[in-house]
Amino acid sequence: MKMNHVGIMVGDMDQAVEFYTQVLGLRLIMNNTKIIEERKTAIGRMCIAVFGEGFDSFNIAHMVTTDGIGVELFEMKHRAERHDLDFSRLGIFHFCLQTGDFETVMRKTEEYGGKVRMDVMRYHPDDDNKPAKMVYLEDPFGNLFELYSHSYEETYATDYE
């Protein structure tokens, strides 16, 4: 399997597109598009199957990371306000991006309405052969994301050279 994309619920599409392009450097490939509840098209039928009857409409935008992983933003017309993080809840917890410039991303996250949740930490502070760093942040809508300095394999594999 290959990772294809991740879908994220946001509260304001214009603000979200600005955040994800300006802060995280994602490339916009399909700007804010309105999807209306209907049964005539394949996308309409698919959305009813996923969201159920009565969603009315939502906005969607598509972006990609530098390595081609998609990020799909959803702004529902009828939605609850920003959620409080509930770490006991099952489901997707966060997504992670890799960067060599933590400081700029952290500064821009706060400038664009997000939060830095912790200081940058070394993942293996006692192993000089594993310099991987990480930090947790959140977007302006409360969605958690993490930054890694190294690949997933470099960070965790016990046999990585």
Domains in the chain, number: 2
Query: Which domain range does residue 7 map to?
Result: 1-77
Position 35 in a domain: yes
Q: Name which of 142, 146, 111 is nearest 132 in CA terms.
A: 146
β-pairing verdict for 70-76 and 5-9: parallel
Pick from 79, 35, 40: nearest CA to 57: 35
Per-residue pLDDT, 82: 59
Kindly state whether residues 120 and 60 are assigned to the same domain.
no
pLDDT at 84: 65
> Is residue 82 in some structural domain?
no
pLDDT (tens digit per residue) in 41-100: 988 899 889 888 888 989 999 999 999 999 999 998 876 665 566 777 767 889 999 999
Do 112 and 50 lie in one domain? The reply is: no
The CB density around residue 89, as the number of other CB atoms within 10 Å, is: 9
**Both 104 and 62 in a single domain?**
no
Of the residues 11, 46, 77, the one at which a domain ends: 77
- In the prediction, which pLDDT does 43 show? 85
- Read off the pLDDT of residues 138-149 as tens digits, 9 standing for 90 and up: 999 999 999 999
DSSP, collapsed to helix, strand or coil, labels residue 63 as strand
Distance CA 81, CA 40 (A): 31
Residue 160 confidence class, pLDDT cut points 50, 70, 90: low
Judge whether 71 and 64 are in contact, CB under 8 Å.
yes
CATH of the domain at 47: 3.10.180.10
Q: What is the C-alpha separation between 26 and 20, in angstroms, rounded?
A: 6
Question: Could you give the CA distance from residue 22 to residue 26 in angstroms, rounded to a whole number?
Answer: 8
Task: Mark whether 12 and 69 lie in a shared domain.
Answer: yes
Would the pTM count as exceeding 0.85? yes
Q: Which residue type does 15 have? A: Q
Of the candidates 146, 134, 149, which has an alpha carbon nearest to the alpha carbon of residue 100? 149
Tell me how far CA of residue 23 lies from CA of 15, 20, 33, 46, 160, in angstroms: 11, 6, 21, 31, 31
Structural domain contains residue 85:
no
